[in-house]
Structure 1
Amino acid sequence: MSIAVLIRPGCTDYDEQHRIQGALDLPLNDRGRQQVDRLIDELRGQKLEKIFTSSSEPAHSTAIAVGDSLDVPVKELDGLRNFDQGLWQGLQVDDVRRKYPKAYKQWNESPESICPPEGEPVEELAERVRRALRKPMKRGTRFAVVASEPIAMLVRGVITGSESSTPGPICGDADVERIEVLHFGEDESVNGANGNGKTVPVSAASIPNGGGEVR
């Protein structure tokens, strides 16, 4: 079994306000920077060989901080860039439900068919994430991916082969679990066909120097 570590970046003001960030580049706030410091401590036992992220914030600054502290190279992959949620960006989910009721209903009933107003089609989003992970998964190295939601949700599904749902109008969560250790087999399909992978929260993983949920 190969191992990948999924890392969700430290939080932003939008996360704490439960607003949809989408493709907006927002900096880590004070709490987010503290979360990154704790992430670094939790990741010291993981022996990562490479970290993949995008140029989007706050994932990029989180990845750079982790890479610099742990002496792990960081590579940007454009396919991991933040999801462009168009006119929904900056809104709370309740705002979307109120202002775009038909689109919100369609997202819940058939999420793969939706495109946020002036945003990116979900189908294209899922495909670019799959393409971005193809090479890292084939190399068999112990790597990490730093990605914000909903990209992180899709990354998790691709790596574990358990793609079963597409995210709806989603905002970050300041209290989300920030590290997951993902296991996948050498024959794992990058298109998620096998479903043989599994995920282990970092609190359940065997990590030197202690584990624990990072919030």
Structure 2
Amino acid sequence: MLRILLITPGATEYDQQGRVQGNLDIPLSADGREQVAKVIEQLEGFEPEAIYSSPCESCEQTAKQVGAALDVRPKTLDKLANLDHGLWQGMLIEDVKTKQPKVFRQWREQPETVCPPQGETVLAAKNRVSEVLRKVLKKHKSHDSVVVVAPEPLASVVRHVLRHDELTDFWGRRPGQAGWEVLEPMVPLKDA
């Protein structure tokens, strides 16, 4: 069974400031690069068939560092773009919480029921992620493992699609903390 190593990128300036990053293209900060280096140390002996990355700069930088260490060239997949948080992007999370407390609470408790102003629904992101993961699983079904580099909250959507579990509090997971976990997908992947 194919295993997916899900890696979240290191911190960006926006993460450190507590801002909603969404699909904005923000590079890793110095701390973020150090976080990725620590993750790489933990991956010694891991030999993935492929590395797939979200198109944001922090994920691409993370994927390049991981790829260089594991001797695998990363590939960027546009359908792994982070959720578009519309007008919330760039705002401090605290400001969203203060200015729109009911919507913020609903976003935390039931993220699939909220669409940020001029943003993307979780269902739309889930459909994108399901499609790309089905293709990855089909392409690599006879291999042991692949890497997927995705930022939060998209990484939570990836977990949800692969595990068939409930969507959880996107902002409860701390973005900007490079990390990794191994996921064994339940098959077949459900459609949204």
TM-score greater than 0.5 by the shorter chain? yes
The percentage of counterpart residues that share the same residue type is 43
Deviation at 1:79, TM superposition (A): 1.2
Structure 1's 109 and 143: CA in aligned 2 closer, same or farther, altered over 3 A? Answer: closer
Deviation at 1:172, TM superposition (A): 4.6
Q: Which runs of 4+ in 1 moved over 6 A?
A: none
3-state SS of 1:58 partner = helix
Deviations 1:35-64 (A, max 9, x none): 122222222311111001122121111101
Structure 1's 40 and 108: CA in aligned 2 closer, same or farther, altered over 3 A? Answer: closer
Match of 2:179 in 1: 178
Q: Which amino acid aligns with 2:131?
A: R
Q: Map of 1:45-56 to 2, 5 A cutoff? A: 45-56=45-56
**Which residue among 165, 168, 189 is the counterpart of 2:167?**
165
Q: Distance in 2 between matches of 1:154 and 1:90?
A: 21
Does the aligned pair in 2 maintain the 1:18–1:171 contact within 8 Å?
no
TM-score by length of 1: 0.78
Relative contact order, higher structure (CA 8 A, sep 6+): 2
Q: Which amino acid aligns with 2:120?
A: E
Which runs of 5 or more residues in structure 1 are unaligned? 194-215
Match of 1:130 in 2: 130
Alignment pair present for 1:111 and 2:111: yes
Give the stretch that moved more between structures: 124-133 or 135-144: 135-144
Match of 2:154 in 1: 151
Q: Compare the two structures and name the one with the higher helix fraction.
A: 2
Q: Distance in 1 between matches of 2:159 and 2:108?
A: 20
Does the aligned pair in 1 maintain the 2:32–2:178 contact within 8 Å?
no
Q: Which amino acid aligns with 1:173?
A: P
Does the aligned pair in 1 maintain the 2:12–2:28 contact within 8 Å?
yes
Deviation at 1:156, TM superposition (A): 1.6
